[in-house]
Structure 1
Amino acid sequence: MNAILNKYLSRTNARSAKAVKNIFSSFAIKGVSIGVNLALVPLTIDYLGETKYGIWLTIGSMLGWINFFDVGLGHGLRNKLAESFAHGNMDKAQTYVSTAYISISALSLAVFGVFAITNQFIDWNVLLNIPPDITIGEDLGTITLAVFLMFSVQFVLQLINSIFLGNQQPAKVSFNAMVGNLFILAGVFVLMKYYDASLFYIALLSSGVPVLVLAGVNIYNYTHGFKAFYPRFGSFDFSSLKDVLNLGVKFFLIQISLLVFIGTTPFLISNFLSPKLVVPFNIAFRYFGVLTMVFSIIMSPFWSAYTEAYAKRDIVWIQRSIKRLVRLWLLFVGAAVLMLALSNWVYALWVKDVEVDFSISLCMMIYVVLNAFGNIYIMFLNGVGAVRMQMITGLVGMVIFFPLSYLFSVVMDLGVAGIVIATTICSLYGPLIAPFQVKKILNKAEETPADKI
C-alpha cells in the first residue's frame, strides 16, 4: 500500500503530504473499525436473533435520518472553515463554529420535541411490517424515543468532525468512530454474558456510546487544540449563518436524496418484502462496504484539500490528483470482482446460517464500483461548492426511487437485488455527469473568479 500511495500521491507538495499522512493513519484506524464491524454482525445476531436484529437495523437506519437534517450546516461549515484556514482568517472561523453550534442545538431541540409528540401516535409494529405472529416483548415506542434522544444530542456534538475535516484531518474523525465501535463491541459482550436478548439494551448501547465519545472529544479539543474556535454565544452572527446556509441548503437537499437512496432501503425491504430480508442486504452492504471504506479513506482528505487548492488556484495539483485517483480506482474494480467471486465463501465463514443471494452481491458490487468512480469527481465539486446539478439530479432520483424500487423488487420479482438496482440508477449522476462538470470548471478556473463559475 505504501508503494501504491507513493506512486499516486506526490510528497513534494505540503498539501499532498498532509493527505498521505491522513490516509496512512486512517488505514490503520479503519482496519480496526472493519474488524470490529464485522465482529458485531454475528455477535448481535446471536444475541438478538435474526428477526429482532432486522428490526433493530430498520429502526436504527430510520432514526439515523436525523443526521441528514442539519440543513447542510455541517458540510457548509466544513467548506467555510477550509476557506478561512486557507486565507488565515481565524476570527471568521471562530464565528462560523459558534454560529453552527448554536443553530444546530436549536434545530435539534425542536426536532426532538416534534418527534417526542408524534411518537405517541405511531404504531411501530405496523410501520415496520412486523407479522402478528412475531412477539417482540418490548415497547418499540420507548426504544425509538430513547434512540432518537441520543441521536439528537449526537447531532450537535458531531459538529466537531466538521472542524477536523475542514482542517484536513479526517483521520481524527475515523479515530473517534473507532473508539466508539470498540466500546460498543465490549458492551455487546457484556450483554451476551449477563443479560437476556433485549432490543432496548442494544439500542441504548449503540446510540449512547457515540454520544459519550463525542462529548469527550468536544471537551478535550475545545480546551486544547481548538481553543481559538470554542463556541461562544456572543460570536453568533446571522450573516455568517447566511453564508453557511447559502451553500448548506444545497448540501441539505443532496443529503435528503442520499437519505432516500440509502436510509430507506431497509424500510423498503421490510415493507415490500420481509423484515428478515433486511439481514442479507445488510450483510452484503457491509461486505462490499469494506471496499467503499478503503476507497473513502483515500478520498477523505481531498474534499477540504480541493477547497484550499481551488482558493489558491493550484489547478495543476487538482488535475494531477484526480488523474491519479482514477488510476487507483481501476485497482479497486479488480478488488471488487475478486470480492464477488469469494462472497459466498466469506459469507459462510462470517455469518454461517444466513443465506445471501448471489444477485444481491452482484448488484451491490456494481453499485459500489460506480459510486466510487463518481465520488472522485463529486469530492472536488463538493469542495468548491459546485453542487447545483448534483442537487437537481438528487431530487429527481428521490422522486423516482420508490416507484423504481417497487417495480424492480415486486413487479419484476427481483427482490432485494431490485432495490439495489434502483439505488444504482438513481445514483448515476456521479459516474456519468460529474466528470464533465469537473472538466468544465477546471478549464475556466484560471481566468474566471471562483464566485463566477
Structure 2
Amino acid sequence: MRAPDSQFEQDAAPHSPGQTVQTVERPEPSTPTTSGPSRGRRLLSWIATAALSRAVSALVPLVLLPVTLAYFGADLYGLWTAVLAVTGMVAFADLGIGLGLMTRLAPCRTNGDVEAARRYISSAYLSVSTVALAACCLLWLLAGVIPWPLLFNAGGAAADDAQLVALVCLTAFLLNVPLSLVARVQYAYQQVAASNVWQATGAAASLPLALGAVWGGLPPIAVIASIAAGPLLVNIANTVWTFGRRLPGLAPHPRLASRRGIRDLLGLGGLFLLVTLLIALADNADPLIIAHLLGLASVTAYAVPARLFAQLGALVMLMNQPVWPMHGEALARGDIVWIRRTVRRMTVASVLVVLLPATLLVLFGDRLFAAWLPVPVGNRSLMLGLAFWWITLAAVSPRFMVQNAAGVVRPQLCGYLMYLPLSTLGKLYGVQLFGLAAAPYAAVMAYLLTVVPTAIYGYRRALAAQTTGERRPL
C-alpha cells in the first residue's frame, strides 16, 4: 500500500499522574536482521506465502461470480458492484491510523519496547473503533434521506434494493475497519505469513456462507450479507488468536490509550489519509462513471473483468507491502545498496506476476467469459487496457515502499492531486466517446503523466536524504 511514513522514532505517551503502570508480559521481540541474505530469504518466504494465499483468495470470487451473477441478475449485480466501489472510496475511514500504527510499532519491535507498543495499539483501537461506530450510527440515521437509487442510477427492481444493499455493504465495511488493525500489528512484527493466511481465510469464509444462502433460496440481500460477513468473522478470530496466543503482551486495553498517543498517530497518518483519499476517489470512480453514462448493465460488463484483474493487483500489494518495514531497517543502517537491488528485483517480480496471467486473459479471456457466464461481459480491448493499468502500477509500487519507509510523502501527494482531476475528466470523455473500454486507457495515460514522474522523484529524494544524512520531520 502506498502509505506515508515518518522517521522511525519512538514517542511513547507518558503515564498520567497517579496512573498505575501495568506490568505486561513481554513477548520475545523479533530481532531485526542485519544481513542482506537473511532479509532476502525472509522476503522470498513472504512472497511465496502471499502468492499461495492470494491464489486461494482469488478462487473465491471466481467461483461466486457465475453463481451471484445468475442469482442477482445483471442490474442487481451492477448495483452491488457500484456500492462496493463506494466502500472503496471510504477506505480512509481509519484516518490513516492503521499505517501510522505500523510505522510507530517498527521501532518498538526493534527496541523490544512492549509497553510503548501496547500504548500505541490501545490508542489506535480506541480511536478507530470510535470513528467506525459513529459512522455506522450516522449512516443508519441518514439512510432515509439519502437518494440511493439516484446515487447509483438504479431503476426497476434494483431501485427498491438500493438502500438495503448500500446499508449492508457499508455497515460491514465500517465494522471491519477496526478489526483489520490486527493485520497492521502482524506486519509490524513481521508475522507476514500468518497475516496472509488469515486474509485468505477471510476471503474463503465467504464461499460456504454465500453458497449456503443461495442453495437455501434466501433473498439476494442475504447472499450479499453473507459475503460481507466472511472477512468480518475471520478478523474477529484473528484478533483473538493474535492477542490471546501469539502476542499476548500487546493486547489492547482502553485504559492504556492516551490523548498524546492518538494525536501522534493522527499526525503521522494525516498525509497518508490525503493520499489514500485521492487514490480511492480516482480508482473507484469507474463504476459510477459507467453507471451514469451507460447504465448498470454496462457496469457489470466492466466490473467482471476488472475484478479478475484486481486479484493480480492485490497480489502485487501483498508482495510489496512486507518490504516496507524491511526498507525501514535498511535505511536506518544506511544499506542503500540493498535497497536499490531489492527495488530492481521487486520491480521485475511485480511486473512478471501481472504480465504472465494478464497476457493469458487478454488472449483467451473473452472466450472464457462467454463459456463461463450467463451474460456477455468485457471484450479484448477492455482487458488489454486493464492489463496496461495493473502492469503500470506493479512497476511503480516498489519505489513507493522506499518513500513510505523514509517519510517522503509530499511527492506522492502532489502526483495524486494532479492525477485525480485528469483521470476523471479523461474517463468521462473517453467512456462517452468510445465506450467502457476507454476507462483504463484514460487512467494509464493520466498516471504516466502525473504519478510516475513524482514517484521517481520521491524515490531519488528518499535515497538522497539518507545518503546526505538529512532527517526531515513529517
Q: Same fold (TM over 0.5)?
A: yes
Alpha-carbon distance between aligned partners in 1 of 2:136 and 2:394, rounded to the nearest angstrom: 34
Alignment of 1:143-292 (within 5 A): 143-196=165-218, 198-292=219-313
Partner of 2:447: 427
Post-superposition CA distance 1:359-413 (Å, at most 9, x none) = 2112111111111111121122122221111112212322344333212111xx1
Deviation larger for 323-332 or 268-277: 323-332
Partner of 1:415: 435
Residues 297 and 452 of structure 1: CA distance in aligned 2, closer, same or farther (over 3 Å): closer
1:382 maps to 2:404: yes
Residues 385 and 32 of structure 1: CA distance in aligned 2, closer, same or farther (over 3 Å): same
* Matched residue SS, 2:246: coil
Post-superposition CA distance 1:167-222 (Å, at most 9, x none) = 233333332232222221112221222215x3311221122222211111111211
Post-superposition CA distance 1:69-89 (Å, at most 9, x none) = 211111111112123223333
Offset of residue 440 of structure 1:
3.0
Alpha-carbon distance between aligned partners in 2 of 1:174 and 1:274, rounded to the nearest angstrom: 37
Partner of 2:38: 14
Contact 1:22–1:170 (CA under 8 A) maintained in structure 2: yes
Deviation larger for 204-213 or 142-151: 142-151
Contact 1:19–1:168 (CA under 8 A) maintained in structure 2: no
1:40 maps to 2:64: yes
Offset of residue 352 of structure 1:
5.4
Residues 310 and 241 of structure 1: CA distance in aligned 2, closer, same or farther (over 3 Å): farther
Determine which of 64, 88, 102 is the counterpart of 2:126. Answer: 102
Partner of 2:16: none
Contact 1:138–1:199 (CA under 8 A) maintained in structure 2: no
Alpha-carbon distance between aligned partners in 2 of 1:228 and 1:92, rounded to the nearest angstrom: 11
Alpha-carbon distance between aligned partners in 2 of 1:321 and 1:430, rounded to the nearest angstrom: 21
Partner of 1:3: none
Post-superposition CA distance 1:1-60 (Å, at most 9, x none) = xxxxxxxxx996332222222112222222211222211111111221222111111122
Return the letter of the residue paired with 1:203: I
Partner of 2:3: none
Alpha-carbon distance between aligned partners in 2 of 1:207 and 1:379, rounded to the nearest angstrom: 30
1:392 maps to 2:414: yes
Determine which of 140, 144, 150 is the counterpart of 1:120. Answer: 144
1:357 maps to 2:379: yes
Partner of 2:347: 326
Q: Given the two structures, how large is their TM-score scaled by the length of structure 1?
A: 0.89
Offset of residue 333 of structure 1:
6.7
Contact 2:347–2:397 (CA under 8 A) maintained in structure 1: no
Identity across matched positions, percent: 22
Return the letter of the residue paired with 1:375: S
Post-superposition CA distance 1:255-284 (Å, at most 9, x none) = 111111222321221112211111222222
Contact 1:66–1:151 (CA under 8 A) maintained in structure 2: no
Alpha-carbon distance between aligned partners in 1 of 2:238 and 2:361, rounded to the nearest angstrom: 36
Partner of 1:30: 54
Partner of 1:5: none
Alpha-carbon distance between aligned partners in 2 of 1:377 and 1:30, rounded to the nearest angstrom: 22
Contact 1:169–1:301 (CA under 8 A) maintained in structure 2: no
Alpha-carbon distance between aligned partners in 1 of 2:354 and 2:87, rounded to the nearest angstrom: 33
Offset of residue 138 of structure 1:
4.8
Deviation larger for 95-104 or 77-86: 77-86
* Matched residue SS, 1:224: helix
Alpha-carbon distance between aligned partners in 2 of 1:334 and 1:204, rounded to the nearest angstrom: 34
Deviation larger for 274-283 or 330-339: 330-339
Contact 1:51–1:275 (CA under 8 A) maintained in structure 2: yes
Alpha-carbon distance between aligned partners in 2 of 1:29 and 1:370, rounded to the nearest angstrom: 23
Contact 2:49–2:196 (CA under 8 A) maintained in structure 1: no
Alpha-carbon distance between aligned partners in 2 of 1:182 and 1:326, rounded to the nearest angstrom: 29
Return the letter of the residue paired with 2:269: G
Alignment of 1:66-105 (within 5 A): 66-105=90-129
Return the letter of the residue paired with 1:377: R
Return the letter of the residue paired with 1:165: Y
Alpha-carbon distance between aligned partners in 2 of 1:65 and 1:339, rounded to the nearest angstrom: 27
* Matched residue SS, 2:472: helix
Return the letter of the residue paired with 1:392: C
Deviation larger for 240-249 or 429-438: 429-438
- Structure 2: give runs of 5+ residues left out of the alignment: 1-33
* Matched residue SS, 1:45: helix
Partner of 2:325: 304
Offset of residue 101 of structure 1:
0.5
Alpha-carbon distance between aligned partners in 1 of 2:107 and 2:37, rounded to the nearest angstrom: 19
Counting matched residue pairs gives 439
Residues 422 and 118 of structure 1: CA distance in aligned 2, closer, same or farther (over 3 Å): farther
Alpha-carbon distance between aligned partners in 2 of 1:352 and 1:46, rounded to the nearest angstrom: 7
Residues 84 and 369 of structure 1: CA distance in aligned 2, closer, same or farther (over 3 Å): same
1:368 maps to 2:407: no
Contact 2:79–2:158 (CA under 8 A) maintained in structure 1: no
Return the letter of the residue paired with 2:180: Q
Contact 1:84–1:93 (CA under 8 A) maintained in structure 2: yes
Quote the RMSD (CA, aligned, Å).
2.4
Offset of residue 64 of structure 1:
4.3
Post-superposition CA distance 1:72-130 (Å, at most 9, x none) = 11111111212322333322211111111111011112222222222110222222112
Alpha-carbon distance between aligned partners in 2 of 1:46 and 1:333, rounded to the nearest angstrom: 29
1:58 maps to 2:79: no
* Matched residue SS, 1:121: coil
Partner of 1:315: 336
Contact 1:18–1:168 (CA under 8 A) maintained in structure 2: no
Alpha-carbon distance between aligned partners in 1 of 2:425 and 2:317, rounded to the nearest angstrom: 30
Return the letter of the residue paired with 2:141: I
Deviation larger for 376-385 or 154-163: 376-385
